[in-house]
Structures are given as structure tokens and as C-alpha cells.
Amino acid sequence: MSLKNVIGVELIESLPLVSRANPHNLPFFDRAFDVAFTGHLMAALYPLQNAKEMERTVRKGGVCVVVVDECGEEEVNEIFRLFRRSRLLSSCDFTLNGRRVARIIMRKKTSD
């Protein structure tokens, strides 16, 4: 798998790879991306709005990926419920840079 176009956004700009943008109001067209990823959902001021923006900018059938601190099934379901237009594909715990985290993958529904 090769990545042709990757756009990173964060509250703090880090050019050339990351542009400054508000995760609660992403400056992209609807369905612009195949994948949306965040490692900061739980730090977002409004996690539900952040999730809505991720789903808005991902095409139907695309995926939203969230990485959070390691958590149990109840917390995974709580995060998944923020993504109202997606279905849960998988979740797993793993170690990233010496830190235990959970990866949650959801697929945006093909019908609204």
C-alpha cells in the first residue's frame, strides 16, 4: 500500500507536513478522504464534534481510526458511539513508543 496524498492537521502548524486547522471545523469538502485518523480525540474540547467532522470528511465506505490510551470494552463502545454514521470494525490494544494504547477502527456507512 502506498500513500499518494496525505494531509495532516493540528492546532499547531508544523510545515510542510502538518497545517493548522480546528478539528471541530475541518477546512475540507465532504467525503474528501479515504481515511481520517486522530490520536487526540479524548483531548478535544468537543469530542462529539471532532468525530462528526471526521465522518463528514471521509467518503462513504472510508474509515475513521482513533488511538487513545489503553481502555476496556466499555470505553471503546463509548468512543464508538461518538461516530454515529459508522460501524465498528475492530479495536485492539498495543504498545506504541512504550505506551499502552487502543486502536479503534470504524467504517463509515455507505448509506445515511
The CATH number linked to 61 is 3.40.50.150
Residues 6+ away with beta carbon under 8 Å from 24? 44, 45, 46, 49, 50, 53
- Residue 63 domain-assigned (yes or no): yes
- Residue 2 domain-assigned (yes or no): no
- Residue 73 domain-assigned (yes or no): yes
Q: What is the C-alpha end-to-end distance of the chain, expressed in Å? A: 29
- Residue 76 domain-assigned (yes or no): yes
- Residue 17 domain-assigned (yes or no): no
Strand partners, 99: 96
Report pTM: 0.89
pLDDT digit string, tens, across residues 48-106 = 999 999 999 999 999 999 999 999 999 999 999 999 999 999 999 999 889 999 999 99
- Residue 40 domain-assigned (yes or no): yes
- Residue 31 domain-assigned (yes or no): yes
- Residue 10 domain-assigned (yes or no): no
Domain that holds residue 62: 24-108
Please give the C-alpha separations between residue 17 and each of 5, 65, 89, in angstroms, as whole numbers.
11, 19, 28
Tell me how many domains the chain contains. 1
Residue with cell 448509506: 111
